[in-house]
Structure 1
Amino acid sequence: MSKVYLALQDNDDSRYIVEAIVDDNPTATVINQPAMIRIENDGQLVVRRASVEEKIGRDWDMQELHLSLITLGGNVDEDEDQLSLNWNT
């Protein structure tokens, strides 16, 4: 199985996003690098709007993810409630 990943700038909003991702994807691995946070997982990774809103304490639009996004790897499926990265082998 191949890993999917998401890399975000290391800023205040991204830290909340990473917390939400880890809560929703307990097998995900977080790799902190200079100015970047990389989250990877085998097969699938999901970012849920409701989870980020709970962590960040305000309404959050999924499009805000793109303000901190550096790169991602996997097949993307995105709507107003979640972004899913999948890898079909």
Structure 2
Amino acid sequence: MSKVFLALQDVDEARPIVEAALKDNPGAELEHQPAMVRITAEDRLVINRDTVAEISGTDWDPQDIQLVLISFGGNVEEDDDAFSIYWN
């Protein structure tokens, strides 16, 4: 199995995304680094629109992840309902 990762700025706007990622991806690991957070998971990491919206209390568009995104490792699939990183 290969690990995928998502690195986000450690800012208030990213906190609901991080919380949603950990909630929706059992086994995902969170690592705090200076000014950034890194989430790793085996094979696939999914950030669901509804989970982020529920946590933040506002509507969230998966494209908004671009505002806090630093880097990622894996293939990206993005639609109206989720932002996913995976390995084939």
TM-score category of the 2 structures, normalised to the smaller one: over 0.9
Unaligned runs of 5+ in 1: none
Deviations 1:29-69 (A, max 9, x none): 00000100000001010010100000111111111100000
TM-score (norm 2): 0.96
- Counterpart of 1:63? 63
The percent identity for this pair of structures is: 55
Unaligned runs of 5+ in 2: none
Q: CA RMSD in A?
A: 0.7
Q: How many residues align?
A: 88
TM-score (norm 1): 0.95
- Counterpart of 2:2? 2
Contact map agreement 1:13 1:56 (CA 8 A) in 2: no
